[in-house]
Amino acid sequence: MKRKLIAAIGVAAMLGVSACGSDSDDSGDNGSGGGDKTLTVWVMDGSAPDEWVTELNKEFESANEGVTVKIQEQQWNGIQEKITTSLSEDTPPDVIELGNTQTAGYAVTGGLADLTDMKADLGYDSWIEGMVSSTEIDGKLFAAPWYAANRAVIYDKSIFEEAGVEPPTTREEWLDGLKKIEKETDAQPLYLPGQSWYIYAGFLWDEGGDLAVQDGDQWKGSLATPEGEAAMNFYKELAAYTNAPTDIDESTPQQSTDIIPKGDVASWIGLGWEAGGAQAAIEEAGGEADFGYFPIPGKSADQPGHVFFGGSNLAVSERSQNKELAQEWLKLATSEKWMKKYAEATGGALLPNSEAAQVTPEPGSFAEAMVKAADVGRITPVTPGWANVETDPNPIKQYMTNVLNGSDPEKAGKDADTTITERINQG
């Protein structure tokens, strides 16, 4: 999960820039002499609200005399290499925040402590289902989910009102609304770049398919399937209402700050931080943003469309010199009590790991739309090799561009599946 996703709270300006007690010293010092101990926790920049982490550590230190919790903030840029190195050392950080799609890769190297015996203590059975898969591999638990966020449709209320369109609850209503906007206004009904593959993944899950499936001990790409084609066909239907190029994604150029503030876009699909970024850019230019939000519609009104869960987990280093203390800190930080406090500190803009910890988001907010899709959130295939699939050139992106430009979906899917299969099975 990238830094800007974590900054979803920019929508309501709820997090401090730095976690209280953060330290740029990355030495992993686990002892302070005199029998006292220092518990080192790595969190990503922007993940831990000041007040939340301060109060959490105060409670933990009060219950563990002689222990000091040292929070060290890290940057997403280059973090995978940094964590890989630290986990191989004798004094790694005791607790580490990991992107949810990265966790499996660290687990198979032996760098993370096995938490399977702690399932009950950690509240495993109460975790949101879509977050659980990223914490396990081969039936063993190696992390606890911390938070997640997902995309929703962001729309210009004035344009929708001009066209007489209400927020849709089904795909059919969605397409009908876009058609009406095209007819009744001068606005671009939907900004949808051709390579927004996280959005395509949601449509694929709606159809019952997946980006890759396990085949014995191996994995194989699964875009050249009826489900993959159906998902891409729906993407094409939406793309009929956009002027966006077919060979870029939502970040090149960044849709929230480079496209939307220029105006004449009725709707787009994005994250909470993007909604906040667009609003800030519009207001900085002297304009006024009046956004509404709704979940990505599903095939029926009974359930919204599936969404990709971007988020983070918390794990304990296998070589931690304070493993039992680290496990206790993890247990406290991800407990219902402190997850609820976390949700409150982030204004509901990030999803905590259980429904019981969620707070009621403000009516009409992005968070409200995001929460409605929480039950159908999923992540990419949980296997260490998945990271290889996402490296440039991403075969899923190329597949989408090819189909949107007229290629046969089955042939384009087979080409992509060949690359996915090769990459995902690499050691």
Q: How many CA within 13 A on the CB side of residue 390? A: 13
Give pTM, 2 decimals. Answer: 0.85
Answer whether 21's CB lies under 8 Å from 50's CB.
Answer: no
| pLDDT on residue 77 | 79
Predicted confidence at residue 4, as pLDDT, reads 35
Name the pLDDT band for 311 (thresholds 50, 70, 90). very high
Please compute the mean of the pLDDT values over residues 206-234 and round it to a whole number.
97
Report pLDDT for 36.
87
Fold held by 152-304+380-424: D-Maltodextrin-Binding Protein; domain 2 (3.40.190)
Could you write out the DSSP letters of every residue in 115-181? -GGGHHHHTGGGB-HHHHGGGEETTEE--EEEEEE--EEEEEHHHHHHHT-PPPSBHHHHHHHHHHH
Q: In 3-state terms, what secondary structure has residue 240? A: coil
CATH homologous superfamily, domain 3-150+309-364: Periplasmic binding protein-like II (3.40.190.10)
Please report the pLDDT score of residue 7 as a whole number.
36
Answer whether residue 2 shows pLDDT above 60: no
pLDDT one-digit tens code per residue, 391-400: 889 999 999 9
Q: Do domains 3-150+309-364 and 152-304+380-424 have the same CATH topology?
A: yes
pLDDT digits (tens, 9 = 90+) for 4-54: 333 333 333 333 322 333 344 444 444 434 458 999 999 998 899 999 999
- Token pair, residue 88, equals 């191989």
Structure tokens at 372: 């409605």
Domain ranges of the chain: 3-150+309-364, 152-304+380-424
Q: How many CA atoms lie within 13 A of 15 on its CB side?
A: 25
pLDDT of residue 263: 85
pLDDT at 1 over 90: no
DSSP-based helix, strand, coil % in the chain, nearest 5: 45, 20, 40
Q: How many residues does the chain have?
A: 427
